[in-house]
Copies of this chain bind each other. A is one copy, B any other.
Amino acid sequence: MSDVAAAVGVSPMTVSRAFRRDASVSLKTREKILETAAALGYVFDSRASTLRSQKTGFVAVTIPSINNANFADTVGAISAELAQSDLQVLLGYTNYDLDDEERLIEQLLRRRPEALIVTGGSHSAHARTMMSNAGIPVVQMWDEPQDPVDMVVGFSNGQAMQLMVRHMIDQGRRNLVFLGGDDRSDVRGAERREGFITAMRSAGLPADRLVDTGTPPVSMHQGALAMQQALRQYPDLNGVVCVSDLSAFGAMSECQRQQVPVPDQVAIGGFGAYDISGQSVPEISTVEVHSKEIGTRAAQAALAAINGNATQQDRIQNVVPVLIPRASTQRD
């Protein structure tokens, strides 16, 4: 920066101002400075800027996995919303593992983000402490924690799944099996399975037909394998409720391979409103959880808190899931 200043014949301070588009630098001077900088191949150093001004210009975001269209939508929406305030996203993956998440959160906080947006409401004790003490706004999303760290933009995965189960029951399906819901790491998957159990019990139906699909991320292939097992184990089944649209599609493909008519013999319900559930034949009933809306509102809440004008309404927001009934659960 001092090289540029010397070349133009001004002080480094003026160069600094020119780069920040500070109004108090004359337009002519600024242009000359930017031109000279470009000619010299000078690249502004954000690290130093960040250290001195105590503004890093980014918001840290954690998601379980990069390869999940729902979280990708959420992150995309966060990016878009933050970009309007010249903030960037610093993204990290937890691999559906609370220890990984703890390490990740520490790494992210070391870079001094201006806010932290995390997926989920369950964390290791140390991670919780770090978030509480970070002195920045924290948003938990995609869940409804009992005891929020700070702000929340989410929904109850259990209640959302109950929408689907009740729909299936309303359609006359009583022999239902749940596919998915890993206890060890996929917290939201386990909550959805609990939702299945709750809804079945309230209807006085057997709630113990559960097939584990294995470790997350949930895949189409896992759904196919689980369906194989379900058809073998519960020959009278007339509906499966899946933890995700991806496993639902895998399950439906398995039915097609085994000549099991969907929905005539077996109804199939998914979760998450992925593209696939709206494009397959037949289309798969699902639960729309508004991934983008969650991202937009999480970013808005973080921004409001950063600017010190977060209202009480910003702090705990419920984004209401909606059932989307389609052909896979309804006879003509």
Contact = CB atoms under 8 A, between A and B. Distances in A.
Interface of A: 41, 43-48, 50-51, 56, 66-67, 69, 72-73, 75-76, 79, 88, 90-91, 93, 106-107, 109-112, 129-130, 133-134, 219-221, 224, 246, 249-250, 253, 256-257, 275-276, 278-281
A221 B51 contact: no
B43 A224 contact: no
Given A50-B47, A112-B45, A279-B249, A76 B72 contact: no
Nearest to A130: B43
B275 A111 contact: no
- Counting every copy of the chain, the complex holds 2
Residue from the set A48, A109, A276 with the largest chain B CB neighbour count within 10 Å: A276
Contacts of A249: 276, 279
A112 B72 contact: no
B76 A66 contact: yes
B90 A90 contact: yes
A88 B107 CA distance: 9
A79 B84 CA distance: 28
Residue from the set A43, A90, A112, A257 with the largest chain B CB neighbour count within 10 Å: A43
**For the complex, would chain A's binding face be called helix, strand, loop or mixed by DSSP majority?**
helix
A275 B46 contact: no
A67 B88 CA distance: 18
A42 B259 CA distance: 61
Contacts of A112: 45-47
B221 A275 contact: yes
A310 B72 CA distance: 34
Contacts of A257: 281
A57 to B, nearest CB: 9
Sorted nearest first, the 7 A-B pairs with minimum C-beta distance are A67-B72, A220-B279, A46-B110, A256-B281, A41-B133, A66-B72, A47-B51
A45 B90 CA distance: 16
A110 B45 CA distance: 5
A253 B133 CA distance: 52
Given A67-B73, A76-B93, A79-B93, 12 more contacts: A43-B106, A43-B134, A44-B110, A45-B110, A45-B112, A47-B50, A47-B56, A47-B112, A51-B51, A66-B66, A88-B107, A220-B279
